[in-house]
Amino acid sequence: MRVDVLVVGAGFSGSVVAERLASHGRKVLIIDKRPHIGGNAYDKTDEQGILIHPYGPHIFHTNGMRIARYLSQFTEWRPYEHRVRAKVADRFVPIPINIETVNQVYGLSLTEQTIGAFFESVREPREVIRTSEDVVLNAVGRDLYEKFFRGYTRKQWGLDPSELAASVAARIPVRTNHDDRYFTDAFQHMPLDGYTAMFQRMLDHRNIRFEGGVDFFAMRQQIRASHIVYTGPIDAYFDFCFGRLPYRSIQFEHEYLPDKGQYQEVGTVNYPNDQAFTRITEFRHLTGQWHRGTSIVREYPCDEGDPYYPVPRPENEALFKRYEALARDATEATFVGRLAQYRYYNMDQCVGAALKAAENVLARLGLDDVRPAHESTPRVRVTHVAAPDHARHDTPPPPAVRPGIA
Ligand code: FAD
Ligand code: UDP
pLDDT digits (tens, 9 = 90+) for 231-268: 999 999 999 999 999 999 999 999 999 988 899 999 99
99-130 burial, b for 16+ CB within 10 Å, e for fewer? bbbbbebeeeebeeeebeebbeebbeeeeeee
Segment 141-168 shows an average pLDDT of: 98
pLDDT digits over 24-35, tens only?
999 999 999 999
For a mutational test of ligand 2's pocket, the pick from 134, 167, 172, i.e. the residue with the most ligand atoms closer than 8 A to its C-beta, is 172
| pLDDT score at 367 | 57
Torsion of CA 148, 133, 279, 249, to 10 degrees: -170
Segment 332-337 shows an average pLDDT of: 97
Q: Which residues contact 398 (CB under 8 A, 6 or more apart)?
A: 78, 79, 288
What is the 8-class DSSP label of residue 15? Answer: H
Pocket lining: 115 vs ligand 2, CB cutoff 6 Å: no
Give the number of whichever ligand sits closest to the CA of residue 132.
2
Q: Using the atom order of ligand 2, give the atom closest to the CA of residue 344.
A: 24
Closest CA to 21 of 388, 359, 302, 398: 359
Residue 27 Cα, ligand 2 centroid: separation in angstroms? 40
Pocket lining: 339 vs ligand 1, CB cutoff 6 Å: yes
Q: Which residues contact 107 (CB under 8 A, 6 or more apart)?
A: none
pLDDT band with cut points at 50, 70 and 90 for residue 395: very low
Give the number of whichever ligand sits closest to the CA of residue 252.
1
Give me the domains of the chain, ranges plus CATH numbers. 5-79+188-247+309-375 (3.40.50.720), 84-169 (no CATH)
Q: What percent of the chain has pLDDT over 90?
A: 86
Q: Which residues contact 113 (CB under 8 A, 6 or more apart)?
A: none
Q: Using the atom order of ligand 2, give the atom closest to the CA of residue 84.
A: 8
Q: What are phi and psi of 182, to 5 degrees?
A: -70, -35
H-state helical runs in 342-385:
347-365
Give the number of whichever ligand sits closest to the CA of residue 173.
2
CA distances (Å), origin 377, targets 61, 100, 111, 368, 371: 29, 52, 57, 19, 11
Whether 342 shows a pLDDT value over 90: the answer reads yes
3-state secondary structure of 77: strand
Q: What are phi and psi of 197, to 5 degrees?
A: -60, -40
| pLDDT score at 400 | 47
Report the relative pairing of strands 61-62 and 91-95 from DSSP bridges.
unpaired
